[in-house]
Amino acid sequence: MDNDTNSTVPLSPPMAPILTPQTLIIASLSLAVVCIAILVFFTRRKSGSTGNLLVLVGPPDGGKTAILSTLMYGQTLPTHTSLQTNSSTVDLPAVKKKLTVVDIPGHPRIRDQVSEYLRDSKAIAFVVDASTVSRNGPAVAEHLHTILNALTSLPPSQPLPSLLILAHKSDLLKSGTASSATSEALAVNRVKTILERVLEKRRVSQAGGVGVEGLGEEGQRTEMGGLECTGDKGVFRFDDWEAGEVVFLGTSVKVVGEGEKSTHGLWSLQQWMENNA
């Protein structure tokens, strides 16, 4: 009679649990960091500044001082290129509030004063002469680039001021019709198209390691941010600007003589001020 051989089948060693306490802790911390980053990003984009300043910036002769005087007095007075910052409190009777409007000259040695007002700004309004932007596009875009860089350089804890781009002197454009609304739309389209094209060239130059002219001494070249977009391949488009919404408005003013009826085309700007005061 054969003796049965008792063979013991070796057991596989128990598998170590995949989710150890250490792994769970690391995963939880990573998830928390991602959630906080997403929350900060979207809060920054959607939040509005609680400041009480509307700061007018832009190249010289764009019409900033004329806009300020029109908002102050309800009519446009003769102005000249200013070399000092001016400000005035503007009444908004429709909402029973006031807003301080600051006009910063566009001279390269003065325009960087905008950084002193960012913390208290409700909005930054970049004023562009729509009738000359076709030939002055590079200079206008260079100035706007410094504004975009300044805004995106603010600490995440500080709400971003709104950014308005005023396609000014829209009344000087020939739209083929008598409609002021059509002239304003034409001005906005022209300014937006030209600035997007030139700013995209600046973005590509920087990406290729070529410095662009920045704020400071004449001829100085530096690396600036502010052109980051969320669209396809990062191509610069105002609608895709990573820091938030950019509002375009068509505006105009007209100096009237004594006894003439005062008219101006700042209604869209005034409405924005009332809605956001």
**Each residue's pLDDT tens digit, 51-99:** 899 999 999 999 999 999 999 988 777 767 778 899 999 999 899 999 9
| pTM score above 0.95 | no
145-201 pLDDT, tens per residue?
999 999 999 998 889 999 999 999 999 987 655 555 689 999 999 999 999 999 999
pLDDT band at 274 (very low <50, low <70, confident <90, very high): very high
Dist CA 70 CA 160 (whole Å): 27
Averaged pLDDT score across all residues of the chain:
82
What is the torsional sign of CA 23, 27, 33, 37? positive
Per-residue model confidence (pLDDT) at position 76: 77
Dist CA 58 CA 78 (whole Å): 19
pLDDT band at 34 (very low <50, low <70, confident <90, very high): low
pLDDT band at 43 (very low <50, low <70, confident <90, very high): very low
pLDDT band at 20 (very low <50, low <70, confident <90, very high): confident
Report the relative pairing of strands 97-103 and 53-57 from DSSP bridges.
parallel
Dist CA 245 CA 230 (whole Å): 12
CA distances from 125 to 27, 42, 67, 210 (A): 44, 23, 11, 29
Burial of 120 (C-beta count, 10 Å sphere; 0-12/13-18/19+): middle
Question: Torsion angle, CA of 85/157/37/228, rounded to 10 degrees?
Answer: 10
Q: Are 114 and 150 in contact (CB under 8 A)?
A: yes
Nearest CA to 167 out of 58, 69, 262 is that of: 58
Say how many C-beta atoms besides its own lie within 10 A of residue 209's C-beta.
Answer: 7
Check pLDDT > 70 for residue 232.
yes
pLDDT band at 247 (very low <50, low <70, confident <90, very high): very high
What are 244's two structure tokens? 């938030």
What is the torsional sign of CA 131, 132, 134, 137? negative
Dist CA 258 CA 249 (whole Å): 29
> Residue 177, SS3?
coil
- Which of 52-56, 108-112, 208-212 is predicted least confidently? 208-212
